[in-house]
Amino acid sequence: MNILVTGGAGYIGSHVVKILLEETNYKLTIIDNFSTGFESTIEELKTIRNFEFYKADLKNLEQVERIFNKKHFNAILHFAASIAVPESMSNPLKYYDNNVVSTLNLTKLAVKYDVKKFIFSSSAAVYGEGQTIVKENSPKNPVNPYGRSKLFAENIITDASKAYGFKYVILRYFNVAGATPDLLIGPKTPEVASLIKAVAECAAGKREKVEVFGDDYPTIDGSGVRDYIHVSDLAVTHIKALDFLEEYNSEIFNVGYGKGVSVKEVIKVMKKVSGRDFKVEIAPRRKGDLAMLIANCDKIKEKMNWTPKYDDLEFICKTAYEWEKKV
């Protein structure tokens, strides 16, 4: 199978590429513009086995089409996106441009060049406020431009699939964290979009303090509650999604552990696994943040026979901390 991975030099995309390189014989082509991905990640992945890489921007349709002209892809795994909720509030046009236009261009090329499978990296941000435990058919009411851009992108893919006949799996991620157990790759982006990365940086002495954005939410301890998943467990679902589409029709799946953990709980666990204390400050709530969001993951466990391997907050925090010590 010939697979195109967009955003393969980024955090989640690189973890999926690692598994594809280690556990399959698929031929891989990676596109990344290094806006948030890293050239060093590509070099690290090539120590596993070789693949083709193109520095390209999905917003440039002609540039990307030249890659499609060179070979036929059987499947696309689409990770390339902007993901920071606060930035999406202050710079929404960037998010509609990068997340929506890029997906539109890639879908056009998938249709034109007869790509049969499309795996899309979406987000729990499509659900929005007013819900705590969400199923795939829960109401969609995103409260920030990031979530809206992901929902628009989902609609592009689902509408195109109905009209043109390719199959898709849309994976709605919850909060992704950690690094590979062998520490080959992990989260490198300096602009922290993840609580666990920020807390790990504090534990490693790379950050002065961690801020808790709001301690007056209607939750167990007043801090926001999220569903955290280890990046390696998330990565495996993409390989299972490729296999799923061999036999079944298009589907949308939540990907999380189905349990809520508060910001203050994450801080407590990180202090425990690192053996380090660090400064914690309470800050005002951020625009666009939700009080609580937890995945119902019954569907992916049943239909894909997916069983997470690293469902352990201490393990997630430990790999995140060890990664920050390494880099």
pLDDT at residue 58 tops 80: yes
Separation between Cα atoms, residue 118 and residue 88, nearest integer Å: 25
Mind spelling out the 3-state secondary structure of 91-134?
Answer: CHHHHHHHHHHHHHHHHHHHHHCCCCEEEEEEEHHHCECCCCEE
pLDDT at residue 274 tops 70: yes
- 54 catalytic? Reply is no
Angle between helices 263-274 and 313-326 (to 10 degrees): 60
pLDDT at residue 45 tops 90: yes
Q: What is the pLDDT of residues 200-236, one digit of tens each?
A: 999 999 999 999 999 999 999 999 999 999 999 999 9
pLDDT at residue 291 tops 70: yes
Residue 46: predicted pLDDT: 96
Separation between Cα atoms, residue 270 and residue 318, nearest integer Å: 7
CB 86 within 8 A of CB 286: yes
Average pLDDT over residues 55-60: 97
Domains with residue ranges and CATH for the chain = 2-176+228-255 (3.40.50.720), 178-226+258-326 (3.90.25.10)
Percentage, residues of the chain above pLDDT 90: 91
Q: What is the pLDDT of residues 131-167, one digit of tens each?
A: 889 999 999 999 899 999 999 999 999 999 999 999 9
| CA quadruple 49, 50, 52, 55: dihedral, nearest 10 | 80
Separation between Cα atoms, residue 156 and residue 176, nearest integer Å: 24
Separation between Cα atoms, residue 61 and residue 279, nearest integer Å: 47
Residue 193: predicted pLDDT: 64
DSSP state of 288: T
Residue 192: predicted pLDDT: 59
pLDDT at residue 53 tops 70: yes
CB 267 within 8 A of CB 202: no
**Least-confidence region, from 169-178, 182-191, 309-318:** 182-191
Q: What is the pLDDT of residues 94-121, one digit of tens each?
A: 999 999 999 999 999 999 999 999 999 9
Q: Which of 11, 96, 127, 146 is the catalytic position?
A: 146
Please enumerate in sequence order all residues whose Cβ is within 8 A of that of 96, keeping only pairs 6 or more positions apart, or say none: 145, 149, 152
Residue 42: predicted pLDDT: 97
CB 164 within 8 A of CB 157: no
Please enumerate in sequence order all residues whose Cβ is within 8 A of that of 317, keeping only pairs 6 or more positions apart, or say none: 177, 178, 196, 199, 200, 266, 269, 270, 273, 274
Q: What is the pLDDT of residues 179-210, one digit of tens each?
A: 999 999 999 887 656 899 999 999 999 999 99
Q: What is the pLDDT of residues 31-44, one digit of tens each?
A: 999 998 999 999 99
Q: What is the pLDDT of residues 64-77, one digit of tens each?
A: 999 999 989 999 99
Residue 257, token pair as written in the block: 């552990």
CB 255 within 8 A of CB 171: yes
**Whole-number average pLDDT of the chain:** 95
Closest Cα to residue 185, out of 48, 66, 317? 48
Please enumerate in sequence order all residues whose Cβ is within 8 A of that of 182, keeping only pairs 6 or more positions apart, or say none: none
Residue 86: predicted pLDDT: 84
